[in-house]
């Protein structure tokens, strides 16, 4: 079996790590696989070092960029020529831009052959993975409608299987946005090297000392690119509301006056919004309460240092940051978007009866999106209850070890490829195109 895997760029984030783990694992299993990527543009952090550490090389197409560009036509042509040279059995695209240009090139490859005149296109299967989606919270209404129409057309004409990484994402992409047919979808959760975090308790104090945190301090961290969709402004606003609440309780002789640890906030990551967010934190009176730790490539150290891991995104697939937090037995509080709902688990019946805009789930606390007051309330509840933090962390770690190993991910994808390559290549797309 020969596979060509395409990702728009190896920038900091879950998709780059996902494809690197997949490539390394599949190659160890004897699958001949070629990774193709664009370049990381200025203003974004490069994560190609992660693939290099795993011994994964890749071919670069410099014209492949994140935004819509006239260079996209050249990218499609280069990918088409690459398919002619490599003659893959499966082409697997990851992220929106790679999915668009990769599947457009795939239609050329499949049908620009004399045998297509006899109804026999080239035998190649096309798979696309949605790590997230851009159908809301990224662009304006017109641009979003255009991208959605493109995705619906590509699903109909140039895709054999659509991989989503959670049941909630399946409901969004197919149920809400009407992309693809039900029989095209396959749910394959993410995977990661859970063994990297096995001895997290031994590394608990390595960064806490560097960050000046006392043993009794509670560190609330948010991990991710400093970009609009991650909504760090909500995190900072919730921190400011939490600080005011704590000060009021202290004056009233409440929990904050009874020796509860100091709560500090840590922003792990970098991006084009950093300067703006630092100014916002200053304006909110958080100069001494928020640490901007910058980009770090040592998750085995910074997750153990945190007591609570927060996520405030407007839109998510299945965030790797929460999976890694759970792998380190960290309590999580997150906005209820996308695959976050599946990660946090079910809500107890008594919680469903509560009128609050946040609820305690099996493996974390989910909060109504876009509500800093609710997020501050959820943080206050977690900060005041160490037993709850421990219980959520332990259940999260057990769940991740059971469900999110990289070995399971690689095996699931290899089985998918085997089923596709063993079928009548291109039958679904051929039928769809002839009907169209």
> In this predicted model, what pLDDT tens digit does every residue of 86-123 receive, in sequence order?
999 999 999 999 999 999 999 999 999 988 888 889 99
C-beta of residue 156 within 8 angstroms of C-beta of residue 436: yes
Domain extents in the chain: 2-191+405-431, 194-403
Instruction: Report the range of poorest mean pLDDT among 4-13, 65-74, 301-310, 361-370.
Output: 65-74
Mean pLDDT of the chain: 91
pLDDT at 424 over 50: no
* Tokens coding 63: 């014209």
By the 8 A CB rule, do 209 and 301 touch? no
pLDDT band at 369 (very low <50, low <70, confident <90, very high): very high
Q: Which residue has the higher pLDDT, 134 or 333?
A: 333
Lowest mean pLDDT among 44-48, 369-373, 421-425: 421-425
Judge whether residue 149 has pLDDT over 80: yes
The pair of three-digit structure tokens given for residue 140, joined into one six-digit string:
């304006």
Distance, CA of 252 to CA of 246 (rounded, Å): 10
- How far is Cα 340 from Cα 224, in angstroms, rounded to an integer? 15
pTM assigned to the model: 0.82
Domain 2-191+405-431 has CATH 2.60.120.10: no
pLDDT of residue 253: 65
Q: What percent of the chain has pLDDT over 90?
A: 78
- Tell me whether domains 2-191+405-431 and 194-403 share a fold: yes
CB 84 within 8 A of CB 51: no
Class of domain 194-403: alpha beta
- The confidence score (pLDDT) of residue 29 equals 95
Span 200-216, pLDDT tens digits: 999 999 999 999 999 99
285-334 confidence digits (pLDDT tens): 999 999 999 999 999 999 999 999 999 999 998 899 999 999 999 999 99
Query: Which of 50, 47, 63 has the alpha carbon at shortest distance from 22?
Result: 50
């Amino acid at each position: 079996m020969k596979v060509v895997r395409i990702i728009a760029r190896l920038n900091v984030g879950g998709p780059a790590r996902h494809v690197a783990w997949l490539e390394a694992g599949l190659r160890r299993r004897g699958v001949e696989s070629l990774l193709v990527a664009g370049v990381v543009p200025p203003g974004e952090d490069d994560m190609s070092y992660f693939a290099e550490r795993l011994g994964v090389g890749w071919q670069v197409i410099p014209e492949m960029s994140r935004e819509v560009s006239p260079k996209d036509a050249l990218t499609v042509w280069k990918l088409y020529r690459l398919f002619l040279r490599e003659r893959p059995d499966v082409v697997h695209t990851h992220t929106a831009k790679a999915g668009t240009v990769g599947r457009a090139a795939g239609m050329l490859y499949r049908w620009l052959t004399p045998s297509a005149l006899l109804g026999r296109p080239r035998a190649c299967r096309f798979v696309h993975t949605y790590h997230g989606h851009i159908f809301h919270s990224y662009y304006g209404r017109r641009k979003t409608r255009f991208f959605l129409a493109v995705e619906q057309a590509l699903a109909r004409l140039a895709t054999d299987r659509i991989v989503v990484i959670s049941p909630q994402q399946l409901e969004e992409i197919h149920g809400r946005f009407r992309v693809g047919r039900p029989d095209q979808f396959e749910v394959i959760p993410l995977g990661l090297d859970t063994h990297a975090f096995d001895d997290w308790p031994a590394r608990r104090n390595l960064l806490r000392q560097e960050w000046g945190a006392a043993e009794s301090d509670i560190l609330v961290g948010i991990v991710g690119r400093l970009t609009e969709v991650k909504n760090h402004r909500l995190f900072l606003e919730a921190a400011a509301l939490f600080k005011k609440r704590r000060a009021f309780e202290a004056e009233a002789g409440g929990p904050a006056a009874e020796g509860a640890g100091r709560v500090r906030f840590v922003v792990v990551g970098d991006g084009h919004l950093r300067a703006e967010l630092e100014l916002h934190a200053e304006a909110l009176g958080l100069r001494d309460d928020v640490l901007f730790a910058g980009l770090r490539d040592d998750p085995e150290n910074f997750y153990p240092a945190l007591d609570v891991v927060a996520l405030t995104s407007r839109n998510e697939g299945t965030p790797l940051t929460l999976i890694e937090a759970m792998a380190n037995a960290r309590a999580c509080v997150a906005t209820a978007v996308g695959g976050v709902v599946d990660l946090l688990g079910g809500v107890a019946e008594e919680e469903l009866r509560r009128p609050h805009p946040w609820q305690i789930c099996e493996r974390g606390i989910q909060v109504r999106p876009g509500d800093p007051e609710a997020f501050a309330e959820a943080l206050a509840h977690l900060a005041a209850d160490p037993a709850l933090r421990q219980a959520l962390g332990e259940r999260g770690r057990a769940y991740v070890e059971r469900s999110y190993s990289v070995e399971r991910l690689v095996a699931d994808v290899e089985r998918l490829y085997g089923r596709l390559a063993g079928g009548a290549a291109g039958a679904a797309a051929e039928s769809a195109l002839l009907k169209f």
